[in-house]
Amino acid sequence: MVARFGLWPGVVAFANDADLWCVTCACQRYGQEAVEAMIEGQPAAEQGTDHEGNPLHAVLYGAEDLHGACCGGVPGSLVR
């Protein structure tokens, strides 16, 4: 089972532009503080962006977008 973070149903990934990142890879790519702020729903956290200025979006457990999706940081690793 994939790790869930935050309140029910839990954040399992982050999406930006055309990429999807598991929480572990998102922390490595965007920094632990930025990812934790989004998971915890801190004020202005939704204004976080990637290195190209694309907004980050939390993806919740059970989201349709996750069906068959792979983490951009771990090729071939399904994010469920």
pLDDT in tens, 53-66: 878 888 888 888 78
What pLDDT digit, counting tens, does each position of 14-49 carry?
Answer: 888 778 888 988 888 888 888 888 888 887 776 777
Any idea which residue has 């890879």 for tokens?
A: 25
Cβ 58 vs Cβ 48: under 8 Å? no
- Among the residue ranges 1-5, 10-14, 64-68, the one predicted with the least confidence is 1-5
Residues 56/59/64/66 CA torsion (nearest 10 deg): 90
Give the whole-angstrom CA distance, residue 10 versus residue 47. Answer: 20
Domain ranges of the chain: 11-66
